[in-house]
Amino acid sequence: DLYRRIINRNNRLKKLIDMGAPEVILRNERRMLQEAVDALIHNEKKESPIRGRDNRPLKSLSERIHGKHGRLRRNLLGRRVDYSGRAVIVVDPTLKLHQCGLPKKMALELFKPFILHGLETTTFSDFDEIKNSAMAGEMPEVWDILDKLIKSHPVLLNRAPTLHRLSMQAFEPVLVDGEAIHIHPFICPPYNADFDGDQMAVHLPLSEEAIREARELMAAPRNILSPSDGEPITLPTQDPVYAYYYLTVEVKDGKGAGKTFCDIEEARKAEEADIIALHSPIQIRIDGKRIKTTLGRAELNRIFPESVRDYDKVMNRSAIRRVVRTCYHEFGWEKTAEVLDDLKDLGFKYATQSGLTISLKDCLIPEEKEGIVRISLAAVQRIETMHRMGLSTEDERKQAVIRIWRRTVDDVEDATMANLASHAFNPVYGIVISGARGGPDQVKQLCGMRGPMAGPSGEIVERPVISNFREGLDMMEYFISTHGGRKGAADTALKTADSGYLTRRLVDASSDTITTELDCGTSQGIDIDPLWFSKTELMESIEERIYGRVTAEPVVDPASGEILVDANQWVSQETADHLGRLDCELSMSKPAERERMIGTKNVAEIRDAEAKRVLVKADELLTPRHIDVLKEGGVKTVRVRPRIVIRSPMTCETSSGICQLCYGFDMSNHQPVSLGTAVGVIAAQSVGEPGTQLTMRTFHTGGVAGDDITQGLPRAEELFEARKTMKSGEAGISPLDGYVTNITPTATGDDQVEVTGEIRTARLPISILRAEVDEQIDVSALIDHSSPCAGELYVLNLDDGSQELFITDASAGDRSYSLPIAAQPKVKDGDQVSEGDALTDRFNVDGIVADCHAVVQIPEGEDRIVVLVDENGVETKHEIPFGARLMVEAGAKVKEGDHVTSRSKPIFIASETEGTALVLSDRIVVFNPAGNSLRIPLTSDLHVAKPHGATVKAGENVLSLEIAHQGDVVVTSITKKKGIATILLQPKSIVKIDKALIVRVGDKVEEGDLLTKGVVAPHTLLETAGVNKARQYLLSEIHKVYKQQGVDINDKHLEVIIRQILNNVKIVDRGDARFLLGDSVTLEEFRKEIRALTQWNQEADRLRRDVLGEPLAEDVASGGHLIATSGELLSQEILARASKAGIERVFVTHGEETVEVSLLVKNYPDGERELLRISRAALQTKGWLSAASFQRTTKVLSEAALRGEVDELSGLKPSIIVGKRIPSGTGFKIPVVLADLPKTDIDDGSR
């Protein structure tokens, strides 16, 4: 329809033009034609879209490619595939870990072409008839063929949502009856599957290569460990876990306790004959040793490898996980798969034998509950009374009541668990304590009390639910509970969508990050300190953070000073454990130990009791300055640990990828990551997959605005999207390094925190200093930045290497005279000159030389001007030198190199005023000493804001301070000497704060440290404290979000994503680079450009040195004045004169050929680090095809078309779209350099 309208209107317009219709009709028709074209391109955007017969807007071209159901996402990136099917899943405890049960009906359909091919080779008369009965499964031959096929064909099982790569694994199929796919119970955790009606899809890999990849990379037994944290994920859950707990519980006075048996077989018979109980402590001879244990423990340990056995332990879920992990590390995946299968058989056997059941009577209510609740009710009553007497505000009363009930719930919970613990075989207790299902929180609701509930808007309702489910809730309590229940259900639905979207953005931002080389050669790394939840609660220890990484700098033992681990060495588990626990006490009185302290990290905060301030913070790097401070503070010993700096993806210098050493171990096999691994996608999956486990809640602290803590998914999104405004209130941050010296409450109820920094020194000229001793002043007001007069600015280089700034006063008659190339000064610095005095010796000005083929013109009324007009009509004006004569007529044609005028007569430059002479390299200045001219010495703390020779106005800023502090300073002392004042400055800053403080007076703070509770926008940190602080903050905050929900993610995954967020540079000054002002480029591109410019400058400099003394191939002329003639030998003087005249290049004959010698030095670009949120990173740093398939398709495509962009099709997404192999994994082309290297074998020695 949309096309038809364009054709109709176009034809009508043509007809009207042919008929010669009036302009007004034609204009209207053209407008309608344009509208029809608009509709074809984007119908939905119009105010009145064109509708079809069903009154729906017609689908335009842009809607076809837009969104989830558009071309890109539905047909190009995701397609329906052949050889696949889906069915409901059921559990099958008889399967081995590498198997899955495939319904026969499904197998027949999946393998149909293969089966028919197999039948073709057997001789039958009427093939069509046979075919139909064969496919119905009525021919015995079919099953034989299927059996053969199945042995050589693994299948892929996938469960949606596919949140990480373990949601798709390969299995050997086993034919089963029925309609459902059978799966091994232990692969439920990676798939997050249960058997309440879940469905799974089956895919059949067809090619040899696909089958090999399925077997070698995707087989379930090879994927026992999770790529996100390197812990086992294929694990027993629920019933078997309870079974292991049940098996390993010991009953001290059980039946037959103390008996001894010759082997496990005899003990089993005794148990069958009811002589001993499964849980009684007995002695059994196992492998020739007499072991004190129980029969249950012996049965469980029998299936573990010998080195992993432990006959004294009660096995719960985490203990089993530890065993599986040890098994994997010591014996590899094949043995671990066997152990898991044995665990499965044993687990289901004893889960059945234990007779596990649960009934209402098992929920034992503790006797203490009544007393605890009674005390709390009395306390609440007291608070109410005090409130009525006016001793508290309504808000304080509410908070106090909620606090009491929270404490009550905790007490009841403890009592409940203690009561249940006295019944070892109570099913509720067994299920919770073994880790099979649930936790104390659920038990509390069943047998304790439910406690305070959340109200409709998320705040906590004062009236708690005192009953539990065993007693039953009364009407009021039931009603209060419904709010939370409804909110929970709504949250879950929203959370799934939000979490999926977050994953999608993460994947898109980091999908092209692939390990592309072994070593990028960087010397940078990140300092490793423990991560803390709060000052006392540890979040992640050093050993967890450094395992499987590579050191960036040597690690030195502070106790002996020897190097423990060299730079660029892998950190194994043993090394990590050793380094993580390593610390020692060093004495301040021994010089050798003081020396060793430098460069180590301080373990605990050191306070000066008298001065009441922190001398050194915990985890602070000790420098000689710190050692002096500690000495002054009278500290005797210091506890230190080695400084550990490891390579990190955040500091990796590989362009468009990451190197093996910066990434470290691949967590799914604890080996160095192999080249071509798509580490970006793995990182995004590891962060996105637990998204659904995060909470959606914003914790309301009883309606106090601003104190709400955003947690869970909204907080994760806030961090990844680098929001500038936060849902929780912004925390106050320290603007400088120093100490908290004062905290004062203000009249408005807020606090003011005074932070005082270390004393700094500044050297400034006395004449422009505007500060007094003990004055508190803004740094920018320390000096007078402005020019006292209008004139010209010069930077003078003195003989002793120092510099001075000189500004002339034009109003007092100061003049400057530019020196021509041939002129020599006659006066010296400081000479007095009168009006008309000669400033230079006599000199000749060279004649004008034509620099191209041109025609000579002489303008009317201008006898001292000659104009040369070249072939393109471009005019060049030249002034005829004094006393020179024209050597050509007006209208004459001249060639390049022809002389247009003769040399001038000998002339000199005369002074126009009287005053004092100042001789510079390129000019002579005559100034009036009585004027307002400024002459001051320059120091390293001053920066001249204008270039040499610039014209300045009176009052214009010409100086800026190079002091690394903005804000107030206190001037503590001023020492004056030889025109320069040495000033001691103490930075001071006042931070206004409206939140709970987390610092005290005397605490030491660094720039960017949080002073209060709350959160801070990463942008703010990047601006105030730099890129390292922003990285550190993002890393620990994202960790906090996930750790609070008990989710472990390895640092490296977060670092890969943070790298994408912080890896961009905004061009502030383009210099001579190929970037444009305001461009956003990746850090690697920026570095690459700087390297290229440096190389260019070095090459040009080398060439200039090489060709000195060689003859010039062409004349060197500027503005018609000859500097050197062709054939003259190139000298430093010619180079200097040519660059002074602004000539960019000269041509020299070097050997046989003519060489171009550049006289320019290319300037470097300047940029500032930029923080991009993940969706911007996804759109900005990629090719247009990849960006278009992510978001805002039409916008991306139209902009790319306008810019004429080219997509190299190098990423993962474009490869999928155009159907070539993706450049990662088995499709990664290993660079030729690396292909010849021997495989690195990482044994314990080389680690």
Instruction: Tally Cβ neighbours within 10 Å of residue 848.
Output: 26
pLDDT over threshold 70, residue 128: no
Ranges assigned E (strand) in 738-838: 738-745, 751-757, 760-765, 776-778, 791-797, 803-807, 815-818, 832-833
Please return the burial class of 1056, using the count of CB atoms within 10 Å of its CB with bins 0-12, 13-18 and 19+.
buried
Cβ contact 291:260 at 8 Å: no
CA distance 460 to 450: 13
Of 596, 584, 578, residue with least CA distance to 542 = 578
CA distance 1075 to 991: 39
- Mean of the per-residue pLDDT values for the chain? 84
pLDDT over threshold 50, residue 330: yes
CA distance 310 to 327: 13
Can you give the pLDDT at residue 1242? 42
Can you give the pLDDT at residue 1235? 52
Band (102; pLDDT cuts 50, 70, 90):
very high
Instruction: Tally Cβ neighbours within 10 Å of residue 508.
Output: 24
Cβ contact 399:702 at 8 Å: yes
Q: What does the block give as tokens for 1012?
A: 């209060």
Burial letters 127-155, b for 16+ CB under 10 A, else e: eeebbeebbeeebeebeebbeebbeebbb
Q: State phi, psi for 936 to the nearest 5 degrees.
A: -135, 150
Residue 555, SS3 per DSSP: strand
Model pLDDT for residues 1104-1122, shown as the tens digit of each residue: 888 888 888 887 777 666 7
Instruction: Name the DSSP letter for residue 200.
Output: E
Cβ contact 268:274 at 8 Å: no
Instruction: Tally Cβ neighbours within 10 Å of residue 615.
Output: 22
pLDDT over threshold 60, residue 700: no
Can you give the pLDDT at residue 953? 86
CA distance 316 to 295: 17
Can you give the pLDDT at residue 373? 92
Model pLDDT for residues 983-1029, shown as the tens digit of each residue: 888 888 888 887 778 888 888 888 888 888 878 888 888 888 888 88
pLDDT over threshold 50, residue 681: yes
Can you give the pLDDT at residue 831? 79
User: What is the β-pairing status of strands 584-587 and 637-641?
Assistant: antiparallel
Q: What is the dihedral of CA 409, 414, 420, 422, to 10 degrees?
A: -150
User: What is the β-pairing status of strands 1166-1170 and 555-556?
Assistant: unpaired
pLDDT over threshold 70, residue 697: no
pLDDT over threshold 60, residue 784: yes
For the chain, the straight-line distance linking the first and the last C-alpha, in angstroms and rounded, comes to 69
pLDDT over threshold 80, residue 54: no
The 3-state DSSP composition of the chain as helix, strand, coil percent (nearest 5) reads 35, 20, 40
Cβ contact 1220:1212 at 8 Å: no
Model pLDDT for residues 266-301, shown as the tens digit of each residue: 898 998 888 888 889 999 988 888 889 999 999 899
Ranges in the chain annotated CATH 1.10.132.30: 365-430+437-490
| Omega of the bond leading into 554 within 30 degrees of 0 (cis) | no
Can you give the pLDDT at residue 96? 92
C-alpha 160: how far from chain center? 28
Which CATH number is 239-353 given? Answer: 1.10.274.100
The segment with the largest mean pLDDT, out of 66-80, 281-295, 482-496, 1118-1132, is 281-295
Residue 528, SS3 per DSSP: coil
Can you give the pLDDT at residue 98? 92
Please return the burial class of 539, using the count of CB atoms within 10 Å of its CB with bins 0-12, 13-18 and 19+.
middle
Model pLDDT for residues 365-418, shown as the tens digit of each residue: 999 999 999 999 999 999 999 999 988 888 888 889 988 998 999 999 999 999
Band (1245; pLDDT cuts 50, 70, 90):
very low
Instruction: Name the DSSP letter for residue 825.
Output: B
Band (710; pLDDT cuts 50, 70, 90):
low
Cβ contact 519:660 at 8 Å: yes
Can you give the pLDDT at residue 571? 92
Please return the burial class of 1103, using the count of CB atoms within 10 Å of its CB with bins 0-12, 13-18 and 19+.
middle
Cβ contact 219:98 at 8 Å: yes
Cβ contact 502:720 at 8 Å: yes
Can you give the pLDDT at residue 58? 78
Instruction: Considering only residues 707 and 930, tell me which one the structure prediction assigns the higher pLDDT.
Output: 930
Ranges assigned E (strand) in 921-1051: 923-927, 934-938, 942-944, 951-952, 959-961, 968-977, 980-993, 1004-1005
Can you give the pLDDT at residue 378? 94
Specify the CATH architecture of the domain 365-430+437-490.
Orthogonal Bundle (1.10)
Can you give the pLDDT at residue 91? 93
CA distance 998 to 740: 11
Instruction: Considering only residues 905 and 251, tell me which one the structure prediction assigns the higher pLDDT.
Output: 251
Can you give the pLDDT at residue 1238? 47
pLDDT over threshold 80, residue 729: no
Can you give the pLDDT at residue 704? 37
CA distances to 657, 1073, 1092, 1094 from 1089, in Å: 17, 7, 5, 9
Radius of gyration in angstroms for the set of CA atoms belonging to the chain, rounded to a whole number: 41
CATH T-level fold of 788-814+928-955: OB fold (Dihydrolipoamide Acetyltransferase, E2P) (2.40.50)
Q: What is the mean pLDDT of residues 493-497?
A: 80
Supply the pTM of this predicted model.
Answer: 0.83
Band (155; pLDDT cuts 50, 70, 90):
very high
Ranges assigned E (strand) in 810-928: 815-818, 832-833, 854-857, 865-870, 875-879, 893-894, 915-919, 923-927
Q: How many CA atoms lie within 13 A of 611 on its CB side?
A: 18
Burial letters 338-373, b for 16+ CB under 10 A, else e: bbbbebbebbbebbeebebeeeeebbbbbeebeebb
The DSSP code sequence of 670-715 is: TEEPPTT--HHHHHHHHHHGGGGGS---EE-STT-TT--EE-HHHH
Across the strands, what pairs with 1082? 1064
Of 990, 967, 969, residue with least CA distance to 776 = 969
Can you give the pLDDT at residue 121? 67
pLDDT over threshold 50, residue 702: no
Model pLDDT for residues 1208-1223, shown as the tens digit of each residue: 888 888 888 888 888 8
Model pLDDT for residues 887-896, shown as the tens digit of each residue: 787 778 888 7
Can you give the pLDDT at residue 201? 93
Q: State phi, psi for 1075 to the nearest 5 degrees.
A: -80, 165
In the chain, DSSP finds a helix count (H) and a strand count (E) of 35, 54
Can you give the pLDDT at residue 241? 93
Which CATH number is 82-220 given? Answer: 2.40.40.20
Can you give the pLDDT at residue 1119? 65
pLDDT over threshold 90, residue 458: no
Of 607, 608, 600, residue with least CA distance to 639 = 600
CA distances to 495, 593, 684, 726 from 501, in Å: 10, 55, 12, 20
Across the strands, what pairs with 658? 515
Can you give the pLDDT at residue 100? 93
What is the helix (H) or strand (E) element at residue 646, kind and residue range?
Answer: strand 645-646
Instruction: Name the DSSP letter for residue 71.
Output: I
Ranges in the chain annotated CATH 2.40.50: 788-814+928-955
User: What is the β-pairing status of strands 613-616 and 637-641?
Assistant: unpaired
Model pLDDT for residues 1045-1089, shown as the tens digit of each residue: 888 899 999 999 998 888 888 888 888 888 888 888 888 888 888
Band (118; pLDDT cuts 50, 70, 90):
confident
Q: State phi, psi for 762 to the nearest 5 degrees.
A: -135, 140
Can you give the pLDDT at residue 198? 92
pLDDT over threshold 60, residue 5: yes
Q: What does the block give as tokens for 165?
A: 């790569």
Can you give the pLDDT at residue 350? 92
Band (1240; pLDDT cuts 50, 70, 90):
very low
Cβ contact 886:903 at 8 Å: no
Can you give the pLDDT at residue 1120? 62
The segment with the largest mean pLDDT, out of 417-426, 761-770, 1140-1149, 1182-1191, is 417-426
Can you give the pLDDT at residue 701? 39
Can you give the pLDDT at residue 1004? 83
pLDDT over threshold 60, residue 706: no
Please return the burial class of 1241, using the count of CB atoms within 10 Å of its CB with bins 0-12, 13-18 and 19+.
exposed
CA distance 1223 to 1186: 14
pLDDT over threshold 90, residue 340: yes
Q: How many CA atoms lie within 13 A of 923 on its CB side?
A: 15
CA distance 109 to 115: 9
Band (1246; pLDDT cuts 50, 70, 90):
very low
Q: What is the mean pLDDT of residues 1191-1217?
A: 82
Model pLDDT for residues 569-628, shown as the tens digit of each residue: 999 999 999 998 888 888 888 888 888 888 898 888 888 877 778 888 888 888 888 888
What is the helix (H) or strand (E) element at residue 1061, kind and residue range?
Answer: helix 1051-1062
Ranges in the chain annotated CATH 2.40.40.20: 82-220
Q: Tally the residues of the chain.
A: 1247
Residue type, position 255, single letter: K
Band (103; pLDDT cuts 50, 70, 90):
very high
The segment with the largest mean pLDDT, out of 103-107, 1111-1115, 1138-1142, is 103-107
CA distance 430 to 200: 32
